[in-house]
């Protein structure tokens, strides 16, 4: 049984590493090791999500689950293609910080298709506890802990304890994304957009040239699950969206292993017979308007600081910003100082470079082509798979 002293020490340890500015992999390694002292588990999985759509952007596995990636595509379909109270999306919408499947179903595990039809038969786990990594209104990820048969199910005290860690876990994920940006180098140009067609039987039926490169870029580090989970999550979400069961657009932004930011879209295809249920997935380099809101959110700026930052990114000078916002230039300078501190930069130029991650800055002087992208780095035409 977890003692109060152990719980407090673990909570303090997780809070410390969450505020240490560590990259995500290091933060998770430290925090999950600490959590295991208070809440023992057989395995763990941390899913990162796009805070705008709450769709999966990557998964990292620990313990018995590490390296067991053969069923990751099935996880994505189950998690985002179906709905149950302990699905991460459902928990986020109902603002449930943590929940245990055995406890929430009163032991009737058939009430959880995810556990009874996927987790138990594929991995042999008897119970699952989940925590939503939420900071304010933004969700940055979800943590799932599993236990094997023959050990006690997750108890109410453990679930309540995990709920107290949700904010710290979110802070660590948000800060970890910024830490990765600070240490990154400019990514190399990729081969252009990739297109995948996923059939109604959930197999990938067709791909464009360069799709394998894009998929490999979705790996999330040494503890990564398979990129198939990210694709399957979009497929499941797209089908629910098409059926009118979800208002969440099937779209996510992912920072690839290369350092390049990607945007993934899913669209159900209208077809009959054997092609019913087909979904087309597009993976392409994200453009500034798609990524700036995500990084600005990660800086945890106030609404006024976000307004100032947006105007700075548009090249507006301090006097014009003051006139636009109907404040004094001194107030603008105060906002800028706060923004610089949060972004860990010392100038407007550094701020722009930090937000655009050097992915776009070297091209900012180029003219735009017909596609709306920089002419010196126009994407090549799609190939046929």
11's tokens: 């909570």
Note whether 348 and 312 are within 8 A (CB).
yes
pLDDT digits (tens, 9 = 90+) for 101-145: 999 999 999 999 999 999 999 999 999 999 999 999 999 999 999
Q: How far is 165 from 160, CA to CA, in rounded Å?
A: 9
Domain spanning 4-182: which CATH class is it, in words?
alpha beta
172's tokens: 């660590």
User: In the chain, what are the domain boundaries?
Assistant: 4-182, 194-287, 290-359
Q: How far is 41 from 36, CA to CA, in rounded Å?
A: 7
Structure confidence at residue 365 as a pLDDT band (50, 70, 90): very low
The region of weakest confidence among 79-88, 235-244, 353-362 is 353-362
Q: How far is 134 from 120, CA to CA, in rounded Å?
A: 27
Structure pTM?
0.84
Domain spanning 290-359: which CATH class is it, in words?
mainly alpha
Res. 1: pLDDT tops 90: no
According to CATH, what is the number of the domain 194-287? 3.30.450.20
Contacts of residues 246-250 at CB distance under 8 Å and 24 or more positions apart, as own/partner, are 246/89, 248/53, 248/54, 248/55, 248/89, 249/53, 250/53, 250/55
Count of alpha carbons within 13 Å of 240, Cβ hemisphere only? 23
Task: Output the CA torsion sign for 215, 218, 220, 226.
Answer: negative
Which residues, including other chains, have CB under 8 Å from residue 186's CB and lie 6 or more apart? Answer: 259, 357, 358, 359, 362
SS3 category, 262: strand
Nearest of 211, 217, 184 to residue 198 by alpha carbon: 211
Q: How far is 184 from 16, CA to CA, in rounded Å?
A: 24
pLDDT value, residue 287 = 84
The region of weakest confidence among 36-50, 265-279, 286-300 is 265-279
The region of weakest confidence among 61-75, 88-102, 307-321 is 307-321
Q: How far is 116 from 126, CA to CA, in rounded Å?
A: 9
Whole-angstrom distance between the N-terminal and C-terminal Cα of the chain? 55
Q: How far is 99 from 340, CA to CA, in rounded Å?
A: 38
Structure confidence at residue 370 as a pLDDT band (50, 70, 90): very low
Nearest of 338, 339, 320, 340 to residue 329 by alpha carbon: 320
According to DSSP, the residues that pair with 63 across neighbouring strands are: 43
Question: Are the folds of 4-182 and 194-287 the same?
Answer: yes
């Amino acid at each position: 049984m977890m003692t109060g002293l152990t719980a407090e020490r673990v909570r303090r340890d997780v809070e410390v590493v969450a505020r240490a500015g560590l990259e995500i992999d290091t933060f998770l390694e430290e925090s999950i090791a600490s959590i295991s002292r208070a809440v023992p588990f057989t395995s763990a999985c941390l899913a990162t999500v796009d805070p705008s759509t709450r769709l999966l952007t990557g998964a990292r596995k620990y313990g018995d689950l590490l390296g067991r990636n053969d069923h990751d595509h099935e996880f994505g379909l189950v998690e985002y293609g179906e709905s149950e109270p302990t699905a991460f999306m459902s928990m986020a919408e109902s603002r449930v910080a943590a929940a245990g499947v055995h406890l929430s179903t009163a032991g009737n595990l058939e009430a959880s298709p995810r556990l009874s039809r996927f987790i138990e038969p594929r991995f042999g786990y008897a119970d699952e506890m989940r925590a939503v990594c939420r900071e304010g209104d933004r969700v940055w990820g979800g943590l799932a802990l599993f236990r094997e048969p023959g050990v006690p199910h997750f108890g109410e005290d453990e679930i309540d304890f995990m709920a107290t860690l949700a904010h710290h876990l979110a802070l660590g994920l948000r800060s970890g994304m910024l830490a990765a940006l600070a240490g990154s180098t400019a990514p190399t140009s990729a081969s252009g957009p990739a297109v995948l067609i996923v059939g109604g039987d959930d197999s990938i039926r067709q791909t464009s040239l360069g799709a394998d490169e894009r998929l490999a870029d979705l790996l999330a580090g040494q503890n990564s699950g398979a990129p198939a989970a990210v694709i399957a999550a979009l497929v499941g979400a797209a089908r629910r969206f098409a059926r009118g069961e979800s208002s969440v657009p099937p779209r996510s932004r992912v920072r690839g292993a290369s350092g390049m930011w990607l945007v993934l879209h899913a669209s159900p295809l209208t077809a009959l017979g054997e092609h019913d249920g087909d979904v087309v997935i597009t993976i392409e380099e994200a453009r500034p308007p798609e990524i700036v809101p995500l990084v600005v959110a990660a800086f945890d700026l106030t609404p006024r600081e976000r307004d100032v930052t947006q105007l700075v990114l548009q090249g507006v000078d301090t006097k014009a910003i003051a006139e636009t916002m109907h404040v004094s230039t001194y107030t603008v300078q105060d906002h800028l100082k706060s923004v610089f501190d949060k972004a860990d930069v010392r100038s407007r130029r550094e701020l722009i470079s930090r937000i655009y991650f050097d992915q776009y800055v070297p091209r900012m002087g180029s003219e735009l082509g017909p596609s709306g992208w920089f002419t010196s780095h126009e994407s090549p035409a799609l190939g046929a798979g």
